[in-house]
C-alpha cells in the first residue's frame, strides 16, 4: 500500500503541477481552459485504458507468458521510474519557469490547440508511466486490494495538493519533496529489479545465478508488519537468489552514487555527451563479442562403462565393461566371449535418446538334461504349471533360447545410461510330455552375463559431469543470446541520452545568444 501510495502521489502530483501551471498561464493570458481540460481528460482516460488493457492481456496469457510479460513490464517500469527520478532531481526547482517558457512559445505560435496538446502529452506521459509502474508494483504486492487503495489515496492527495498549489494556499518545496520521494522510489525500484529477475527466471529467460543465498524467514515472518514493509513495499523476498542480490545491490549502488555525486565534479554537457557515445560504442562491441566470442560447450563422457550386478544387501559385483566405439558397443563380460554389437545409423542423430539392442548369449555349461528339482529351482523355486511329478517325473531334455536386451540412453550420441535384461526361454521335452513346454526361467548372472548395469561410482561421476555441462551450457546460452540483447538496449539508451544531451546543449546555447 505504501509503495503504490507514494508512486501515485508523486506521479499524480507531477501531472497536476504541470496542468496547474498551464492553467495559471492560460488564465493570465485570458485564454479558455476548456480545450486544456478536454486534453487532460483524454490523457487520463487513455492512460487508464492502457493499464486495464495490459492487465487483461496478462491475465489471458498462459503462466509462463504471464511471467514473461511481468518481467517486461517490470523492466519498463524500472526504466520509467529511474529516468523520472533523475529528471525531477535536475528540473524540479525550475519546473515552473521551464513550463511557462514552453507555454509562452506554444502560445506565440497562435495555435488554439498548442497548449491543450501540451497538457495532453504531459498528462499522458505521466499517466502511462503511472499505469506501468503501478501494474508492476501490483504484481509484486502481497495484497492487490491494499495496493489499489494506496494508489487511490495517493492520487487523491496529489489532486488536493495540486489544487492547493493552483489556488495559492499551499506552499511546497518541490525540490525537497521530489528528492525525498525519489529516495523512497529508488528502494521500491530496487525491489522491482528483484521481482523482474524472478519473473524472468520463471518465464525461462534467466537460468543463471539461481543459487539461494539467504533464508530471511526469521526476518520476514508471514503476516507480520515487517513482511508488509520488507516484502510488500521494498519487494525483498524471503529466499533471495544470487542474481537477485546482485541486481538489487547493483541498482541501489549505482543510483546512490549517481544522486550523491558532488555537483562540482559532474562532467560538462559536452563531456557527458561524449561519455554517453563512448559507452554506447563499448556496449555494442561487448554485445558483438558476447554473441560471437564464445563457443558452445561440448559434452564429453567416458567411453568405458564398468558393469556390475546388483546383489541384495551385499553391494555390487563387477561383471565386465561396456566400451563405446564408433561402429557400436563392445561387451566384455566375465564368462562370455567379447562381443561387438553394431549401433543403428540413427544413433548418430542428436534427437535419438533411446535405443534397444539385443546381444547373443552363450552358456557354455548349459545342461542338456534337467531333473524336476532343477527345473523347479530355475522356475522361481516351484513346479511349473503343466508338469505333474507322477506323470512327468523327469528327467527332461532341455533346449535353451538365451539373449540379453540392452537399453541405452544417449545424449549427443554418448551413453548416459545402460541396462541389460535377460530373456531366458527353456524348452522341456521327454518324460511323457505330449509336447514341449516353454518356460521363462531365471538364470544366475555369472551363467549368461546378464542382468547388469553401470557401477554406482560411474553413475555418480556421470551425474556430476552432466550437472557441470548443463551449468556451463546455461551460462554460455545467457552470454550468447540474452546478454547481447541487454547490452544493445543499454547502447541504444546511451545513444538516446547523448542525442538528448546534444539537443539540450544546442537549445541552451541558442537561448544564451538570444539573451
- Is 409 found in the same domain as 329? yes
pLDDT digits (tens, 9 = 90+) for 190-217: 888 888 898 888 888 888 888 888 888 7
pLDDT of residue 348: 75
| 365 and 237 part of one domain | no
Q: What is the pLDDT of residue 148?
A: 76
**String of b and e for 17-38 (b: at least 16 CB within 10 Å)?**
bbbbbbbbbbeeeebebebbee
pLDDT higher than 50, residue 509: no
Cα separation of 334 and 310, whole Å? 15
314 shares a domain with 245: no
In a shared domain, residues 262 and 309: no
* Mean pLDDT for the stretch of residues 170-180: 65
Query: Are both 182 and 84 inside the same structural domain?
Result: yes
Compute the distance between CA of residue 236 and CA of residue 231 in angstroms, rounded to an integer.
Answer: 5
Q: Mean pLDDT over residues 123-133, rounded? A: 73
R_g over Cα of the chain: 38
Do 325 and 233 sit in the same domain of this protein? no
Residue 483 within any structural domain of the chain: no
pLDDT interval class at 487 (50, 70, 90)? very high
Question: For the chain, how many structural domains are there in total?
Answer: 2
**Mean pLDDT, residues 14-32:** 71
Is residue 106 assigned to a domain? yes
pTM of the prediction?
Answer: 0.67
Neighbours of 307 (CB within 10 A): 27
Residue 481 lies in a domain: no
317 pLDDT more than 80? yes
Same domain, 257 and 310: no
Q: What is the pLDDT of residues 376-435, one digit of tens each?
A: 888 888 888 878 888 888 788 988 888 888 898 888 878 888 998 888 888 988 888 888
Co-location of 9 and 153 in the same domain: yes
Q: What is the pLDDT of residues 213-256, one digit of tens each?
A: 888 877 777 666 666 667 766 778 888 899 999 999 999 888 88
- Judge whether residue 62 has pLDDT over 60: yes
Residue-level pLDDT at 513: 45
**Do 127 and 15 sit in the same domain of this protein?**
yes
- For residues 193 and 141, membership in a common domain is answered with yes
Closest C-alpha to 12, from 133, 143, 142: 133
CA-nearest of 289, 359, 368, 362 to 329 is 359
**What's the domain range around 394?**
304-471
353: pLDDT strictly greater than 60: yes
Amino acid at each position: 500500500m505504501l509503495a503504490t501510495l507514494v508512486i501515485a502521489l508523486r506521479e499524480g502530483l507531477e501531472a497536476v503541477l504541470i496542468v496547474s501551471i498551464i492553467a495559471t498561464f492560460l488564465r493570465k493570458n485570458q485564454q479558455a481552459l476548456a480545450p486544456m481540460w478536454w486534453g487532460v481528460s483524454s490523457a487520463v482516460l487513455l492512460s487508464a485504458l492502457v493499464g486495464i488493457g495490459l492487465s487483461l492481456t496478462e491475465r489471458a496469457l498462459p503462466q509462463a507468458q504471464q511471467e514473461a510479460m511481468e518481467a517486461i513490464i517490470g523492466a519498463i517500469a524500472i526504466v520509467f521510474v529511474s529516468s523520472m527520478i533523475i529528471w525531477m532531481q535536475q528540473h524540479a526547482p525550475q519546473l515552473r519557469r521551464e513550463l511557462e517558457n514552453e507555454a509562452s512559445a506554444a502560445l506565440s505560435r497562435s495555435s488554439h490547440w498548442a497548449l491543450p496538446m501540451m497538457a495532453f502529452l504531459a498528462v499522458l506521459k505521466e499517466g502511462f508511466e503511472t499505469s506501468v509502474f503501478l501494474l508492476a508494483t501490483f504484481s509484486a504486492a502481497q495484497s492487490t486490494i491494499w495496493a489499489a487503495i494506496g494508489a487511490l489515496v495517493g492520487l487523491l492527495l496529489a489532486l488536493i495538493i495540486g489544487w492547493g498549489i493552483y489556488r495559492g494556499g499551499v506552499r511546497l518545496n518541490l525540490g525537497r519533496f521530489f528528492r525525498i520521494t525519489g529516495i523512497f522510489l529508488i528502494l521500491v525500484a530496487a525491489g522491482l529489479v528483484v521481482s523482474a529477475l524472478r519473473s524472468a527466471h520463471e518465464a525461462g529467460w534467466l537460468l543463471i545465478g539461481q543459487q539461494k543465498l539467504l533464508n530471511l524467514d526469521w526476518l520476514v515472518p508471514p503476516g507480520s508488519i515487517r513482511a508488509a514493509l520488507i516484502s510488500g513495499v521494498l519487494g525483498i523476498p524471503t529466499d533471495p537468489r544470487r542474481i537477485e542480490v546482485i541486481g538489487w545491490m547493483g541498482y541501489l549502488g549505482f543510483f546512490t552514487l549517481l544522486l550523491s555525486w558532488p555537483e562540482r565534479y559532474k562532467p560538462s554537457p559536452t563531456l557527458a555527451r561524449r561519455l554517453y557515445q563512448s559507452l554506447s560504442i563499448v556496449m555494442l562491441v561487448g554485445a558483438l563479442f558476447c554473441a560471437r566470442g564464445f563457443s558452445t560447450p561440448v559434452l564429453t563422457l567416458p567411453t568405458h562403462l564398468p558393469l556390475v550386478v546388483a546383489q541384495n544387501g551385499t553391494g555390487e559385483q563387477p561383471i565386465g565393461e561396456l566400451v563405446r566405439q564408433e561402429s557400436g558397443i563392445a561387451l566384455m563380460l566375465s564368462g562370455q566371449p567379447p562381443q561387438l554389437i553394431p549401433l543403428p545409423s540413427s544413433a548418430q542423430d542428436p534427437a535419438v535418446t533411446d535405443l534397444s539392442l539385443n546381444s547373443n548369449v552363450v552358456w557354455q555349461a548349459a545342461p542338456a538334461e534337467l531333473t524336476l528339482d532343477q527345473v523347479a529351482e530355475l522356475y522361481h523355486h516351484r513346479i511349473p504349471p503343466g508338469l505333474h511329478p507322477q506323470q512327468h517325473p523327469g528327467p527332461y531334455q532341455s533346449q535353451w533360447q538365451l539373449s540379453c536386451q540392452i537399453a541405452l540412453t544417449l545424449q549427443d550420441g554418448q551413453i548416459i545410461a545402460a541396462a541389460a535384461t535377460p530373456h531366458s526361454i527353456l524348452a522341456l521335452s521327454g518324460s511323457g510330455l505330449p509336447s514341449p513346454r516353454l518356460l521363462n526361467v531365471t538364470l544366475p548372472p555369472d551363467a549368461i552375463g546378464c542382468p547388469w548395469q553401470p557401477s554406482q561410482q560411474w553413475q555418480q561421476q556421470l551425474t556430476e559431469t552432466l550437472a557441470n555441462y548443463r551449468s556451463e551450457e546455461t551460462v554460455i546460452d545467457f552470454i550468447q543470446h540474452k546478454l547481447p540483447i541487454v547490452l544493445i538496449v543499454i547502447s541504444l539508451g546511451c545513444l538516446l541520452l547523448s542525442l538528448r544531451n546534444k539537443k539540450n546543449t544546442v537549445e541552451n546555447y541558442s537561448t544564451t545568444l538570444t539573451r
